[in-house]
Structure 1
Amino acid sequence: MYSAEINRKQPALLMLLLDHSFSMSESSGQGQGTKAQVLALAVNNLLGNAVLLCSRGGEKIYNYFDVGVVGYGATIGPILHGASDEQPVLPVKDLADNPRRVDAVTRRVPDGAGGVVPVQQQMPIWVDPVADGATPMVSALQRAEPTIAAWCAAHPSSFPPIVINVTDGVSTDGDPREAAARIRGLSTDDGAALVFNLHLSALSGQAVTFPDSAEAFNDPNAHILFEASSVLPPALLEAAAALGYSVRAGSRGLLYNADVTMVIDFLDIGTRAVTPTGLKDLISTTDAAGYGSDDDAPDDDGRRDEGDQPKL
């Protein structure tokens, strides 16, 4: 279980549920802007990495992933440019072709002599920071459920869907455990859908990471999110441990009162579940669909050029 290879006939599904409530306008506490701004930056980086990975270092994008992003606050619905209620999930090629815009950003990079220099880079923007309204988490999960069910039916041999919910508050439209359980009840032949929860806090030093028991929590909301979270499959346990998190058999995909600097870690760990070797190491050299073009085929000696491999 949780070992299906990803290829063009067996893509993976990543579904992000992003809290857009008014409290996301609060400072992140790390001098990096608001919670909404930090979350948007992390998600844009994640999506950009997914696009680069599926390009194999070249121009052509291979549809190894389907991606959906649902925002929930004053409104609830898909927020990717080009997505709609009728098509809430996009193949990664469509994602690559339809950023909301491309911004020029300044980044500090090594200069090769021990220092750093500012460099202007182009950054695709798929998600903007939003902070407006309440926290209708149950409705967001309910909105995602039929999409995930339909995807599982259409991709029975694929790795199970990965759903990552990021919030900084308590659900304002009821208890989300039943809705999360219904999603976890959906499955492909490779296992049940995975639901992970990241609860943001502007405070440091109080995070509970990947717990294996609800006994660590005094907060009723933490108990709810714990019970709404899936147990981590082995590949994700390994990924979390590699980044220095304390995990054990039975650990769940939950970070509670997490520092916003953990957002990127959590998103990266969550997506590493899609393959035993991790998202960043995904290499598909023998798609079940066959080679998509002459550029995909091995060289005459049977080997692939470095450029044929996906990379970040």
Structure 2
Amino acid sequence: MYTQSITRNHRTAFILLIDGSGSMTEELRFRGRTTSKAEAVAAITNDLLFELIERARRDDGVRDYYDIAVLGYSGNDEVKSLLPGRGALLSVTQLAALDVPVRRELVEHLLPDGGIALREIPSPAWVAPRAAGQTPMGEALRRARDLAAAWVARPENGGSFPPVVFNITDGEATDCDDDELRALAGQIRSLHTADGHVLLINIHIAAGDDPRAIFFPSREEADYPNRYAALLYDCSSEMPAIFEEAIREAKGPAALPPFRGMSYNASAAELVAMLNIGSVSVKTE
């Protein structure tokens, strides 16, 4: 299980759910500067999309290794695609062909004399930051479930590495209770291809480095004295063995699998690590 390499004949899918509620205006430190959670998550998401395009690029152009969806949830019950173009799920070649604005980000870097300077880095901006209203996470999970169900039902995807769903949030659902959230998460995780079940990774981000943070917890870390952290643990997938080396590299060699695909009070850097581990650890040919 979870052994199928990604090829043009065996593509996979990545579905990102991004909390765009009002609390995402809260500030954090990201790449040496203070910015809102919404701006940091948008920048990190755009970096991931760029990385996926580049990983799919070969001498003959960008190959269709991935299908990608980015859904934002905010307002009352608003869930919509944050990518331009038709449809929620785009192939990586469609994503690469989109005409999108270029953002210019100021990033601190260290000078030879030990000083700090700001460097302006241009990069494509498929996703813009959003922060308004409530947190309709339940509806977002329903949309992800339906997208993943349709994807695994296609005959051409029957033997592929299963989709990976990332849910990035800084708060609790406002449109369902804990039991409903567990049920929706279970429905997503029950979907499968011949290579394995759909993976659901829940990433709760915080405004700063919190000593209570947990990151890809192992079983001995599961007894966390926080109701919401326990809920996210219950809702998340156990990570297959293919991800264990990358997770141990991020956590430290003493960390022992199995690991659960979730975080609580994660920093921006840990969000980057979780997205990278969940998306680029799968072998691409």
Cα separation, 1, equivalents of 2:133 and 2:51: 30
2:15 equivalent in structure 1: 15
1:261 equivalent in structure 2: 269
After superposition, the CA RMSD in angstroms is: 2.4
How far did residue 152 of structure 1 move? 0.4
Kept after mapping to 2: 8 A contact 1:206/1:258: no
Kept after mapping to 1: 8 A contact 2:82/2:128: no
Q: Could you tell me which amino acid in structure 2 is paired with residue 239 of structure 1?
A: A
Kept after mapping to 2: 8 A contact 1:12/1:274: no
Match status 1:196 vs 2:201: yes
**Structure of higher CA gyration radius:** 1
Sequence identity percentage: 34
Structure-to-structure mapping, 1:127-276, within 5 angstroms: 127-154=127-154, 155-174=157-176, 175=178, 176-204=181-209, 205-213=211-219, 215-245=222-252, 247-275=255-283
Match status 1:82 vs 2:74: no
- TM-score (normalizing by structure 2): 0.88
CA shift digits 1:77-130 (9 cap, x unpaired): 2111114xxx21000011111153123445677999999987655311011111
- TM-score (normalizing by structure 1): 0.81
Cα separation, 2, equivalents of 1:29 and 1:216: 29
Cα separation, 1, equivalents of 2:249 and 2:119: 30
Query: Greater strand share, 1 or 2?
Result: 2
Name structure 2 gaps, 5 residues minimum.
none
Structure-to-structure mapping, 1:93-132, within 5 angstroms: 93-105=93-105, 121-132=121-132
Structure 1 segments (4+ residues) deviating >6 Å: 108-119
Kept after mapping to 2: 8 A contact 1:63/1:92: yes
After TM superposition, the structure 1 stretch with the greater mean CA deviation from structure 2, 167-176 or 203-212, is 203-212
Q: Could you tell me which amino acid in structure 2 is paired with residue 164 of structure 1?
A: F
How far did residue 220 of structure 1 move? 1.0
Name structure 1 gaps, 5 residues minimum.
276-281, 285-312
* 3-state SS of 2:7 partner: coil
How far did residue 249 of structure 1 move? 2.5
Structure-to-structure mapping, 1:293-304, within 5 angstroms: none
After TM superposition, the structure 1 stretch with the greater mean CA deviation from structure 2, 29-38 or 167-176, is 29-38
